[in-house]
Amino acid sequence: METSFIRETVVFKIAYFFSVSLLIFCGISSGSPPKDPFWDLREKMVTHQIIARGIKDLRVIEAMRKVPRHLFVPEDMRGSAYDDRPLPIGEGQTISQPYIVAFMTEALHVSPGDTVLEIGTGSGYQAAVLAEIAKEVYTIEIRPRLGERARERLNGMGYGNIAVKIGDGYKGWPEKMPFNAIIVTCAPQEIPKPLVDQLAEGGRMIIPVGERGGVQELVLVRKEKGMIRQEAVMKVLFVPMVTDEGITAR
């Protein structure tokens, strides 16, 4: 009897252990969101700022949902990272409003096999969103400190398909051309010819164009059968593009 009781007790403890372990495992792998204090804010941003305003590309929506925007803003501004507005990131530059990031990304019709060039790395947020969709992202930042911080941040987050270059974005990155898509997050007064030349056939470019200090036109450029087609799609306000001589690009 005693032996039977001991055997039953051992069996009960083993069964209890496996039951508890199974419950813990199921809780971990149930598909619930990770313990991210910004998860709810990011979901609200996607729902109310992105989807509600007409963004339909599922790849763009999922990229905006995945990339932790709060890691791309100064630490003392992380509570505002998912607000419906641009935020300062230092050196007179900003991280764009979430909707603008999503709108410009969707306008480019980026596909998983695409190579994309970004002019104006800033914090690296737009590059990260693009890297969730594209094969490769090449991004240029003219301000060394911003560029180095962005490179360190993106490398630390595991973005192996992003290359950051410190240099003059007006000139593009001819060694890596042609590009399926080009996104420009600073405003020249005219569309730079080097960027147009670096577009692949069938390529798209989205770029704000206008005078410094004024409202600009967000222009969608397409290269089709050697012809360049332009379409103004939205009024915007971006920081001006500057060259490596420190002057505003025309």
CA distance 109 to 181: 8
Give the single-character DSSP code of 69. Answer: G
Please, which residues bridge with residue 235 across strands? 217
For the CA atoms of 105, 107, 113, 119, the dihedral, rounded to the nearest 10 degrees, stands at -50
- Sign of the dihedral defined by the CA atoms of residues 143, 189, 228, 134, in that order: positive
Identify the residue whose tokens are 């507005």: 85
- The verdict on whether 29 is a catalytic residue reads no
Which one of the listed residues 80, 96, 111, 123 is annotated catalytic? 96
Closest CA to 220 of 78, 109, 75, 62: 109
Within 10 A of 86 (CB to CB), how many other CB atoms are there?
Answer: 17
Which residues are known catalytic residues?
96
